[in-house]
Amino acid sequence: MEISRRRLPHQYPEGKWLFVTCHLHGSLPQAKYPPPGKLSSGAAFVWMDRYLDTTLLGPRYLAQDSIAQTVVDSLHRGVLLGHYDLAAYVVMANHLHLLVLPKISPSRVMQSLKGATARQANLILRRTGELFWQAESYDRWVRSTEGWARISAYIEENPVKAGIVQRPQDFRWSSATHAVITIETRDLVHA
């Protein structure tokens, strides 16, 4: 099991799917974090996700079609390069959710994905030397087939819960709209 430490500990059991959330640098101001100790980690994550879905403050670069397309293209490129299997994703205005099965180090997957998309996005935005993604990503490994199905649905339903579309397949920047590699769920989670 790979363990990575930054501000949060990250545990990466080999052969397990990961639910990952990345958000843009400055999209979640420190003053807006949920109060420590008041919420469970799951409730704090949902609080953060709802805040990101509804705020009009902070950067919203991923709402630009050219940048959202860059992220989607990069996600699919990672599959073609053999870095991971991709089950579900959604590119929201200021954050990204994905469900991946890493085939290389998860830290390397995220470094590659965030680095490539940041370079392209900053070119599109005509920015140099500015941070694009928040350094820390939030991740959780999937523990069961039921959890995998719940997380996949959570990801694809995100634009619906945010009030952007009526149905997941109506959101342009999601696996509900774009084809991803089809894998039977019975093969997804190893007990």
3-state helix, strand and coil shares in percent for the chain, rounded to the nearest 5 = 40, 20, 40
Please tell me which residue, 138 or 155, carries the higher pLDDT value. 155
DSSP 135-185: S--EEEE--SHHHHHHHHHHHHHHHHHTTS-SSGGG-SSBTTTS------G
- For tokens 């630009």, the residue is 64
| Residue that the structure tokens 């997380």 belong to | 151
Closest CA to 114 of 2, 6, 1: 6
Name, in order, each residue with C-beta under 8 angstroms of 158's C-beta and a sequence gap of 6 or more: 49, 53, 90, 92, 97, 174
Q: Which residues pair with 85 in a beta bridge?
A: 101
pLDDT digits (tens, 9 = 90+) for 44-71: 777 777 778 877 788 999 999 999 999 9
Structural domains in the chain, sorted by start: 13-187 (3.30.70.1290)
95-117 pLDDT per residue, tens: 999 999 999 999 899 999 999 99
Structure confidence by residue, pLDDT tens digits, 3-31:
444 444 556 667 889 999 999 998 877 66
Residue 43 banded pLDDT, cuts 50, 70, 90: confident
Residue 138 CB partners (closer than 8 Å, separation 6+):
8, 20, 21, 22, 45, 48
Please choose, from the candidates 155, 148, 158, the residue with its C-alpha nearest in 3D space to the C-alpha of residue 185: 148
For the chain, the average pLDDT equals 83
Would the pTM of this model clear 0.75, i.e. be above it?
yes
Cα(120)–Cα(32) distance, integer angstroms? 28
